[in-house]
Structure 1
Amino acid sequence: MSPAVLPSHKAAVLYGQKDLRIEHRTAFPPQRGHAQVQLIATGLCGSDLHYYQHGRNGDFALRAPLVLGHESAGVVTALGPGVKNLKVGQRVAIEAGINCATCNYCKTGRYNLCKDLRFASSAKTFPHLDGTLQDRMSHPAHLLHPLPDNCTFDHGALAEPLSVIIHSSRRASLAPGQSVLVFGAGTIGLLACLYAKAHGASHVVAVDINPARLDFALANSFCDAVHCLAPAERPKGSEEQLRRASETAASVLEAFKHQQGFDLVYECTGAEPCIQMAIHVAALGGTVMLIGMGTRSTTLPLSAAATREVDVLGSFRYANTYPQALAMLAEGKLEGVEKLVTHRFGLDETRRAFEMMGKGVDEQGQMVIKVVIGTGEQ
């Protein structure tokens, strides 16, 4: 008897800088404790774009072909041995990080800091763990979160970047009545605005260099006010950088008529000038939450942070956030969140999607915020 022929599926595989190939791969049955998922929607994020454009994301460079994508939702198509919490046909959102479950970080609920964590689509660990830009994939069943009935697959994909905001907001102790400033009006920044409003922030404002994104945020009530920074040449020398950051921060506070500063500042750009300004626009005793991953080494006005008792906190991915993210999306607490998805492409068009993301506008000149790769099924 001839051996059974295993089915194949398509995957968008990155071999190097802008070397993206659509390949057919064998769809192996899921192993014990895993389930196979048909991917319906995958959102592209900034880290995916960095890998596509440069073959690396910060310190993490490709060492082997890698499937990108980690903001995803789909349908369970097969169960591995021992899986009891799912059923075939169930709609799920995929949590992309696989932790060891045995270290102290995992045991105390901070599994995002697990030293052995492998994150789908990240080149940090080797062998790399393939991401979700493929037709089907197998993944640990306990990291597949059932979608509520009134959540779309887009919602399931957005649960991943929303989880970033939930985790950072928990660390920053976001509370009702606080004033909030957000640097960056991309997907993460806009979700920070929506999340702060949903949690009773008294005043939410956004700052960016892209007027179209700020117009979008204001027109769709993601925030209460916006301010557009003029792009400027990088000052020479750290002292000049810090002086300009202080002056620009003062002009931002003046523009918002909020000279006392903001209780919580989300820094979602990773750009050094914004990180520097964040300390100055925070109120006395306020908090700066660093979310954006950009500049690897930054000169900070630490004396200003210390004398004004501004807490500067870092945040890395998320832990134990998916249930809250999906509940908020299902209950409609983030009004207008679906508008973040501005463009859709099929898997075969992934290269075109990345090229458009890099430009920031489509062929008609329309702004790009969140691109979703998938079937379009909801």
Structure 2
Amino acid sequence: MSTSTAAVLHGPKDLRLEQRSLWAPEPGQCQVEIKATGLCGSDLHYYLAGRNGDFAIRSPLVLGHESSGVITALGPGVATQYPHLRVGMRVAIECGIPCRSLNTDGSERTKDDACKHCSSHRYNLCKNLRFCSSAKTFPHRDGMLQHKVNHEAWCLHPIPESLSYSQAALTEPLSVLLHASRRAGICPPSSHSSLVESSLTSYSSSTASCSPISAAGKKILVFGVGAIGLIACALARELGAESVCAVDINNDRLAFATREGFTFSDSGTGTSTFCLPLPSTTKSSPTPESTAEPKEHELLRRAKENAARALSVFDEPDGFDIVFECTGAESCILMSVFCAAVGARVALVGMGSPSVSSFPISFAATREIDLIGSFRYADTYREAIDLLSGSHIFSNPELDRDVENPDHSDRNDAHDGAAAAHEPKDTAFSRKLAKLVTHRFELSQTKEAFELLARGRDERGGMVIKVMIEVL
């Protein structure tokens, strides 16, 4: 029996390279050789603490869920059931495995027993879903930081030759923002179902979205410009937003967001980024008023003041139409509500604080601010691959804007050139996201890759955004 090398987490910072037996793929599965896996914030939490929020590892776990690879073997029945898949095909790997409203023997459940979430194309909410690299369920389902893996065929999405493996690995985080944007109502619902046998059948469903509104003319604010926040900025711009602004505590990341055209502002004197000041560590003598005020009121007061400063810097006194909160930090969650305009929507994307003190519920209610939960994704991979491949998938005149021209100056005459005739107009989106990959390691260097991600700076002082484990 052949073996496969895997980077296995046994506890906090206890990551070991191990040889594991490689079984033949089961019915309905394919064997995939992993070519690229991006390290995510949740992976880092598991590596550093052995847990991600409430989910602690209870047995050795292979991390990694932002992956692409090549099919090396088909399990029984795959050639017939999934004729679009074949050995040698390059694929992006979707890592959430819901029940699909099927019994353990593969037969469909009766109407009364059907999974309402899988049946309504919201399989990310399936209560029986198992997600590769997550400790939420037990036994855990291993992730993709291994040489080869057997995986459900319906979760494998073909990618074109023009897309590199590292670009294809970005399909997963891009899916997170496609789903959040649909939940926020600024992205059209998917026209493709991932749960059908061929993964190619079109369908019409808007159950996962709020009532749709166009991104055109909307002002978007993003909290946090790590990889997820930067993708939120890029997608909002691709959807045709009027302006995209960002808040973070890291000036270098904000400078990167501005320099590379992830953020932009049309508000005249306003800028497109705001660096959030860290709370003072100096203890001052308490006043009678401050000692009488509960701590949570202080958090609320500071959030309101910081929001006012940010809106002043952005020159957006009325607030933003859509806010993507991508940090999960309590201070930013509170601040996002105060930065929202009347009738705005706040999409909660970041996974961090399990609870928030003194939430400004009256402020949100009287201004009819919608708080939108967003968890992973469903039916997003096809559109994500199309976007990364340079295809037009949104009918929006704003897509003709040159997304690499932050000041919106007139487009050049590239469309008249011979090269432009062979390049879709929106490949700038894919090139922009490719810049997020700042560091690359081999599988044998996974521990070093996690340590670098934890530091946030390399030995030359370079900024770390997305670390990719690749076959180099």
- Bin for the TM-score computed over the shorter chain: over 0.9
Say which of 126, 134, 142 aligns to 1:130: 142
Matched, 1:350 2:446: yes
User: What is the aligned-residue identity percentage?
Assistant: 55
1:366 alignment partner in structure 2: 462
Moved more, 317-326 or 333-342: 333-342
The structure whose Rg is larger is 2
2:338 maps to a residue whose letter is: H
Structure 2 CA distance, aligned partners of 1:55 and 1:186? 22
Cα distance, 1:317 vs. partner?
A: 0.3
3-state DSSP of counterpart to 1:9 = strand
* Matched position secondary structure for 1:358: helix
Superposition pairs for residues 1-378 of structure 1, below 5 Å? 6-84=1-79, 85=82, 86-102=85-101, 103-174=115-186, 175-224=215-264, 225-233=272-280, 237-299=295-357, 300-331=359-390, 332=427, 334=429, 335-376=431-472
CA contact (8 A) 2:121 2:379 kept: yes
C-alpha deviation, 1:237, in angstroms: 0.8
8 Å contact from structure 2 (residues 166, 470) kept in 1: no
CA distance in 2, matches of 1:62, 1:13: 11
Give the deviation of 1:288 after TM superposition: 0.5
Q: How many angstroms does 1:149 deviate by?
A: 2.7
User: Any stretches of 5+ residues in structure 1 without a counterpart?
Assistant: 1-5
SS where residue 189 of structure 1 aligns? helix
Give the letter for the 1:229 counterpart. Answer: L
More strand by share: 1
Q: Distance in 1 between matches of 2:329 and 2:469?
A: 27
Distance 1:312 1:24 in 2: 46
Shift of 1:177: 1.6
Whole-Å separation in 2 of the counterparts to 1:337 and 1:162: 9
Q: Which letter maps to 2:452? A: M
The CA deviation at 1:233 is 4.3
SS of the equivalent of 1:336 reads helix
Look up the equivalent residue of 2:78 and give its one-letter code.
V
**Cα displacement string for residues 207-252 of structure 1 (whole angstroms, at most 9, x for unaligned residues):** 1000111111111111112111111148961111111111110000
Contact 2:225–2:253, Cα closer than 8 Å, also in 1 = yes
SS at structure 1 position matched to 2:35: strand
1:3 aligns with none
Aligned residues: 371
Q: Are the equivalent residues in 2 in contact too, given 1:14–1:52 (CA < 8 A)?
A: yes
Cα displacement (A) at 1:142: 0.4
Residue type of the partner of 1:248?
A: N
Q: Report if the CA contact (8 A) 2:36-2:69 is conserved.
A: yes
Superposed CA RMSD: 1.1
Q: Deviations over 1:238-278 (max 9, x none)?
A: 11111111111000000000111000000000000100010
Unaligned runs of 5+ in 2: 102-114, 187-214, 265-271, 282-289, 391-426
Q: Deviations over 1:145-201 (max 9, x none)?
A: 000232111121100000000001001001222100000000000000000000000
Alpha-carbon separation, structure 2, partners of 1:363 and 1:114 = 43
TM-score normalised to structure 2 length = 0.77
The answer on whether the counterparts of 1:198 and 1:333 sit within 8 Å (CA) in structure 2 is no
CA contact (8 A) 1:76 1:88 kept: yes
Letter in 1 for 2:277: A
Q: Deviations over 1:28-64 (max 9, x none)?
A: 1101000000000000000000000000000000000
- Dislocated runs of 4+, deviation >4 Å: 233-236
- The answer on whether the counterparts of 2:251 and 2:275 sit within 8 Å (CA) in structure 1 is yes
